[in-house]
Amino acid sequence: MDIKGVNLGNWLVLEKWMSPALFEGTTAEDEYHLPRQLSKEVYEARIRVHRSEYISERDFLAIRRMGMNAVRIPVPYFIFGDRPPFIGCIKELDRAFDWAEKYNLKVLIDLHTAPLSQNGFDNGGLCGVCRWSQTPGEVEYVLQVLEKLSVRYGQRKGLLGMEPINEPITEPMWKRMDVPSRYPASDPEQAAGSAPNTLEFLRDFYTNAYNRIRPHMAEDCFVVFHDGFQMKAWKDFLTRPHFQNVMLDTHLYLMLAEQDGCPRTMDGYLAYIEEHYAQDIREVQEYVPVICGEWCLFNSYAVGVDTRGGQSVLNGMEFSGNKERFTPEQKKEIYRTLANALLSAWSVGSGYFYWSYKVLLDTCGDPNWIGWDSWDLGRCVDEGWVRG
């Protein structure tokens, strides 16, 4: 298994920073609040045009042409359309499978959000709230969504696997990110009682999810578990004899390395990649296939300012006077060197998915975005930063 893939981020699960225009005229910071600040008609119009234009058949061809063999598709819990005011998107996923199969790509279905959120991140759909795992009815709801997805796609030729939940946060990351401050809840009452998920809960949820979806999935498809930002906590769990074709997903961003104390220099990054990423993957890959399901080239050194863990202009961070620090040739050299090191780390495991395929940033209109184009694999390939 040598997965070379890319995430179709911001297509079916919105992140404001990746397409700010979708959120125009509102103060919503996340997907949950967007329909609550727009009329039903306007919300629907924005969402439908976005879904039809952001990703279409042509993108699957482009991704194949980049040398990829897989896409990871984040989907929301309301994909079946049973959670108004949200609009379902199962037809879009159907189409994605048709396109993936036409262009020889495999699909990893990634349930990216849960009601009341599994992490409190903006990309979890509801900033500052993390109460899903404390709400048994919603845990059961998610299991039902997963089961329905497995029934619908479990035998599709294009299916690579299913990931029951993306980035369920656990205590160390909850503290490191200081979620309540970094992603302030707009409704403190809704956030009250928020707390990281426990590993006990996750083991239980993963077991239930496995049992509900595995029977519907073709044998060679994978059930992919996110590590909750604790790559080494899963050995006993994942080596249980009755698990077949399970996989661990870990997300390794350089901005997290920076938060962990990695120096913002090329030597610093390269050492960190070898000593932490490659080593950890090597260790884990001994007992379970591991993929890096999210990563990108973005880092403070290349951007030229301390991004404070990837905080953006949309987090209220203004990098006033932001300018390119390096020439295009220097940037190419930096990114290529990092890409080689990172790709070589992922190749110790079972592969990777870049985050993300496409980001709608305007570095001319807002210089605060200078350097953020490295989140966009299309741009990275076109710039020659990653070899397509």
**Which residues are near a second copy by CB under 8 A?**
19, 21-22, 24, 39, 41-42, 45-46, 48-50, 52-54, 56-58, 61-62, 64-65, 95, 98-99, 102, 358-365, 373, 376, 378-379, 382-383
Q: Is 83 left (phi over 0), alpha (psi -120 to 50) or beta?
A: beta
- Which residues in 164-186 are b (16+ Cβ under 10 Å) and which e? bbbbbbbeebbeebebbebbebb
User: 103 or 253, CB closer to a second copy?
Assistant: 103
Query: Which residues, 6 or more positions from 330, have their beta carbon under 8 angstroms from its beta carbon?
Result: none
Q: Is-contact 293 353, C-beta < 8 A?
A: yes
Strands 351-354 and 3-7: parallel
Q: How far apart (Å, rounded) are the C-alpha atoms in residues 31 and 334?
A: 34
C-beta of 33: minimal distance to a second copy in Å? 17
User: 49 or 192, CB closer to a second copy?
Assistant: 49
C-beta of 169: minimal distance to a second copy in Å? 30
User: 159 or 292, CB closer to a second copy?
Assistant: 159
Residue 197 φ/ψ, nearest 5 degrees = -75, 145
Q: Is-contact 373 385, C-beta < 8 A?
A: no
C-beta of 355: minimal distance to a second copy in Å? 15
User: 98 or 306, CB closer to a second copy?
Assistant: 98
Locate the DSSP E strands across 29-120: 70-75, 106-111
C-beta of 153: minimal distance to a second copy in Å? 15
Q: Is-contact 95 58, C-beta < 8 A?
A: no
The separation between the first and the last C-alpha atoms of the chain, rounded to the nearest angstrom, is 19
Query: What does the block give as tokens for 218?
Result: 């073709």
C-beta of 325: minimal distance to a second copy in Å? 17
User: 73 or 209, CB closer to a second copy?
Assistant: 73
C-beta of 36: minimal distance to a second copy in Å? 16
User: 57 or 275, CB closer to a second copy?
Assistant: 57
3-state SS, 351-364, equals EEEECCCCCCCCCC
C-beta of 4: minimal distance to a second copy in Å? 16
User: 19 or 368, CB closer to a second copy?
Assistant: 19
